[in-house]
Amino acid sequence: MDNSHHLDLLYSFFFVVRPISGAHFNPAVSFAIALRGGMSVPEMITYWAAQLIGAIVGSLCGGIVTSSYATVSIGADATLTQALLAEAVFTFILCFVILCVATNPKVENNHYYGLSIGLVVASGAISVGGISGGAFNPAVALGLSITSGMSKLFYALLVSAANLVGGIVAVGCFRVVLPSEFEAGGTVGETAPLRGYL
């Protein structure tokens, strides 16, 4: 099945929603940005709630349209260790890229951040989607499980934990690579537009 139209939609949403909320669709990304100093813990929790609600609504819509509800699951020939490692590694790459292209003032106002982020998600889905289910996002894993009647909930929780670990490692690498920018906190609009509403 050709998924290029999904990727086009993903790229578009990064550009459309970034001025409003920073385009956080992923709790692991919000966690990484909070650890980086770009948002407070209460803001992060608000984002997490919105992300999970969005994932549930999206999964419900997908289930209604297709008459079937999907879940994130381990590939037929993969082990749990392989699946969780794949999730952690690609979530690390995703969070690290986001920290570098969307929160680094040295590249502020760049026009390639959406493409960079979308390409990471696409390459992850293509390369390890058949191993781990290719969530790279706790909200996706949990939202799909919830709308499927809590199907594969334990695996969704493990994937979520692996995704958060990937985010933590990304922040550590960001601090090593750009130590001067780490302490500066977020600067490229991750949460500023919402501050008046929270």
State the pLDDT at residue 114. Answer: 76
Q: Give me the mean pLDDT over the 52-64 stretch.
A: 92
CB 51 within 8 A of CB 24: yes
Query: DSSP assignment, residue 25?
Result: -
Tell whether the model's pLDDT for residue 184 goes beyond 70: no
Give, in order, the Cα–Cα distances in Å from 129 to each of 60, 105, 111, 192: 21, 32, 28, 34
164: tokens are 């958060």
The pLDDT mean for the chain works out to: 83
pLDDT of residue 10: 58
Name the more confident of 87 and 36.
Answer: 87
Return the pLDDT at 8.
56
Higher-scoring residue by pLDDT: 164, 179? 164
User: Number of C-alpha atoms within 13 angstroms, CB side, residue 23?
Assistant: 21
Residue 190 in any domain: the answer is no
0.95 exceeded by pTM: no
Write the pLDDT tens digit of every residue in 112-138. 777 788 889 889 989 999 999 999 999
Could you tell me the CATH number of the domain that includes residue 139? 1.20.1080.10
Q: Is residue 101 part of a domain?
A: yes
- Residue span of the structural domain in which 86 resides: 25-66+76-182
Residue 189 maps to a domain: no
What is the domain count for the chain? Answer: 1
Measure the CA–CA gap between 143 and 46, rounded to whole angstroms. Answer: 16
pLDDT at 33 over 60: yes
Q: Which helix (H) or strand (E) holds 87?
A: helix 80-102
Whether 187 maps to a domain, the answer reads: no
pLDDT at 197: 34
178 domain residue, yes or no = yes
Residue partners of 48: CB distance under 8 A and separation at least 6: 27, 30, 139
* Measured distance CA(116)–CA(107) in Å, rounded: 13
**Other CB atoms within 10 A of residue 174 CB:** 22
